[in-house]
Structure 1
Amino acid sequence: MSLVLPRAAWPVADRMMWDALHKKAGPFDDPGALAHLRQTSSKTLEACYARWMKWLETTDPDALFTPPAERATLARLQRWLDALAHTAPMSRLLFVDGVLRVLRATDPDQDWTMPQRLLAGLKRAAGRGDPARKQGRILSSEVLLKAGLTQATANADAAPSPLKRMICQRDGIMIALLALLPIRRRSFCELTLGQSLHVSESEILLSLSEDMTKTGVPWEAAVPHQVEPILRRYIEETRPALLSRGDQNHDILWVGKKGEIIGQDYIGSRIGGLTLKLTGKRVPPHFFRDAAATTLARMSPESARLIRPVLAHSGFRTAERHYIHAQTIDAGRDYQMLIKRLKEGRS
């Protein structure tokens, strides 16, 4: 059974509310309260709201006959949280925050004090998510770069067929490029020749427009020299060969066996599986960002300041967190070496 109620099945009041919130500005009227959201952010809110609607339809269908904002009573939200008890604290926070964001936008004059207190409690419970999820899986960017280059060169050369060689090259280049330019998965998958990736004789420039970044700030960087030659070869030779296998004609950078556009889920799974094979640790695309931040933070305080522009963050909180984490790692290793020397001195 589906956990969400598709928007087409929502009550008329909810569909009208959603359309009004996302209405673009016209010559004589203002935009909706959520019209500024990027498509991905809007889809996330829709998924949260659709889950809320499905729960209401299943457990409290009479509530669907009341105005959308009036349904979010404290008692009803707490019952929904009980039903979500099997999910992670961060997931519960995401669901409730998404629903309240939609409802506050549609009726900002309603008293949201108690739901906001509930949300604050969820934020405290969620913290920064489950830290164990990343333990032991944040490798250095150097290790990831080496793994990617090995896959794109030596492993590709040893592939048993031309097709497998091309796929090895593509996969290795993806890993190596992410190791040095750890952009977000959506932006990485949407890279397009001539739009967000510009190839000239002297360089390959990666250029993300404001709608491709989480902060809404354009971001630009030249592809580093360690990856530029193999990426150029993929663009000029490997990618066209794959396109010809399926008679495809488009400008998306990353393509499948027959030149088809490959999606975020495929790329995420592919990179995770390959990093596990190559390094012994499954490293999904988003962890490349943690790898870059920790690698920079461990180099020096000056290098730590690069975390913000490299990751296209709007603030310094992430850089500070990774710097503290790196200092903790180094302190632990220094302590272990000291204990080892003391033990050796006693023997």
Structure 2
Amino acid sequence: YRVDFTPDEVKTDRYLTLHLPEVLTPFTDAWITEWRPLFTADQSIDALWVGIRGTPMRERGVYGCVVETTEASFGVSINPHLFRDIAVTSIVDQTPQNIGITAPLLGHINPATTEEHYIHANQAMAGERYRASVTTLRDNLKAEYGNPFKLRGER
């Protein structure tokens, strides 16, 4: 599936086209063929997401559904914009060589915009990894050589 956004629907005021991962195809098919028709019988409505009144969901409605669903599913609410942070952070963390795809993914013309807004996540991760590495090293050394901070003769 391909999702097309018009400039008035995105933060960057530019057309944006995204392809959904293939793994989502069966779920998208089920929504379109089985569930969505329960909300609207009006086939002239081409919005993917429709509300309980059968009309296209607006930004606030989608936002609320995402926040409520993520809270119920994961125990923490995740708003739609945070998915952008998660996507960039995941790409940079898991495949740093692919950092170049993050700007187009977010619809940024200038890659510096992406780096400026999302590099903080990498800095925080680096700090956490450093702390974890030091803790692991300290624990390994303590297990092998004992506690270096004890006074001589103490056990």
TM over 0.5: yes
Give the gaps of 5 or more residues in structure 1.
1-203
| Shift of residue 292, structure 1, vs aligned partner | 1.0
Q: Distance in 1 between matches of 2:92 and 2:52?
A: 38
**Partner Cα separation in structure 1 for residue 52 and residue 67 of structure 2:** 19
Normalising by structure 1, we get a TM-score of 0.37
Partner of 2:38: 241
Given candidates 52, 71, 79, the residue that maps to 1:284 is 79
Q: Write the mapping of 1:145-184 to structure 2, written as runs, cut at 5 A.
A: none
In structure 1, what residue type is equivalent to 2:139? K
Once the two structures are superposed, the pairs formed by residues 87-166 of structure 1 within 5 Å of their partners are none
SS state at 2:141 partner: helix
Matches within 5 A, 1:317-336: 317-321=112-116, 322-323=118-119, 325-336=121-132
Query: Could you say which residue in structure 2 is the equivalent of 1:226?
Result: 23
Instruction: Give ranges in structure 2 of 5+ residues lacking alignment.
Output: 144-155
Code of the residue aligned with 1:219 in structure 2: it is L
Aligned to 1:311: 106
| C-alpha displacement of 1:344 | 3.5
- In structure 2, the residue matched to 1:339 is 135
Partner of residue 266, structure 1 = 61
TM-score computed with the length of structure 2 as normaliser: 0.76
Structure with larger RCO (C-alpha < 8 A, sep 6+): 1
Rate the CA distance shift 1:307–1:227 in 2: closer, same or farther, 3 A. Answer: same
How big is the alpha-carbon RMSD for the aligned residues of Structure 1 and Structure 2? 2.3
Q: CA deviation at 1:315?
A: 1.6
CA distance in 2, matches of 1:227, 1:271: 16
- Return the alpha-carbon distance in structure 1 between the equivalents of residues 135 and 76 of structure 2: 28
The percentage of counterpart residues that share the same residue type is 24
- Report Cα offsets for 1:280-312 as digits up to 9, x if no partner: 221111111111111112123322211110010
Could you tell me which residue of structure 1 aligns to residue 153 of structure 2?
A: none
Q: Secondary structure at the match of 1:207?
A: strand
- Code of the residue aligned with 2:30 in structure 1: it is R
Cα distance between partner residues in 1 of 2:65 and 2:13: 28
Quote the Cα distance in structure 2 between the aligned partners of 1:299 and 1:323: 14
